[in-house]
Amino acid sequence: MSTVNPLSGAGGASLLSQSGDSTAATQEQFLTLLVTQLQNQDPLNPMDNAEVTSQIAQLSTVNGINQLNNTLLALSGQMDLSQSMQAANLIGKEVLVPGEKISLGSSVVDGVTTQVATPFGVDLISDAAKVTVTILDASGKAVRQMELEDPQSAGVLTLQWDGKDDAGLPVGDGAYTVQVAATDAEGQLVASEALTSGRVSSVAYASTGLQLELGLAGTYSLFDIRKIM
């Protein structure tokens, strides 16, 4: 069940009201002080017009800054509310986030055992002529190496392992790790990142922002999502 805080926008409005009251009070204090100075000035040595103009300009600057702060507070509240709604809509959906873990499990249907691995992905920063994916078991031993046949464009690729080793034999159920490597047409390394998948089970507000619970995959920020599957 989502635990998104629906009051984030209201908090922004409260701060906005307080800031507006503070601005009005500052203006009133300034005008009161200026009138008092004018009433009590020495007739033989009156206040310089430039000095009065300078003080008014300073008030205008402060007022402009306060108005800018008010605008930023309002925008911040709207953004928080929008992000909360987006995150809540992700509950129940499968997503790809940075990570190297995948799991392999078996299911039996009508007496037939089938192995299914969790989907994973590769995030390519730029185009790649060759992408190599290596599957490692819990001991760090490579059990399968796969090379994507065609050149790949920059972006996120979604991949699925069939649960077999390089000899085409099924491997045991359990946790595995994915390693990725990519090169361009000149053989130069292309920045790439392995992605793990998980289903969003809940959303929580933390001091660091919105957090998504992805079950065994762990907890991730809303901004960690690379793809919604």
Phi, psi of 7 (to 5 degrees): -100, 10
pLDDT band at 184 (very low <50, low <70, confident <90, very high): very high
Helix, strand, coil percent values for the chain (each to nearest 5): 35, 35, 30
Per-residue pLDDT, 194: 97
Per-residue pLDDT, 122: 97
Contact indicator for 194, 180 with CB cutoff of 8 Å: yes
Tens digits of residue pLDDT in 85-101: 777 788 889 999 999 99
Number of other residues whose CB lies within 10 A of the CB of residue 93: 12
pLDDT band at 43 (very low <50, low <70, confident <90, very high): low
CATH class of 94-197: mainly beta
Strand locations in 32-141 (E): 94-98, 101-109, 112-117, 120-124, 130-136
> Is 70 exceeded by the pLDDT of residue 5?
no
pLDDT band at 192 (very low <50, low <70, confident <90, very high): very high
- Tokens linked to 132: 């190599």
> Is 90 exceeded by the pLDDT of residue 55?
no
Phi, psi of 78 (to 5 degrees): -65, -40
Contact indicator for 224, 98 with CB cutoff of 8 Å: yes
**Cα gap 214→188, rounded to integer Å:** 35
**Cα gap 176→13, rounded to integer Å:** 48
Percent of the chain with pLDDT over 70: 64
Per-residue pLDDT, 9: 42
H helix or E strand, kind and range, residue 214: none
> Is 60 exceeded by the pLDDT of residue 77?
no
Question: Half-sphere exposure (CA, 13 Å, Cβ side) for 36?
Answer: 6
Contact indicator for 105, 176 with CB cutoff of 8 Å: no
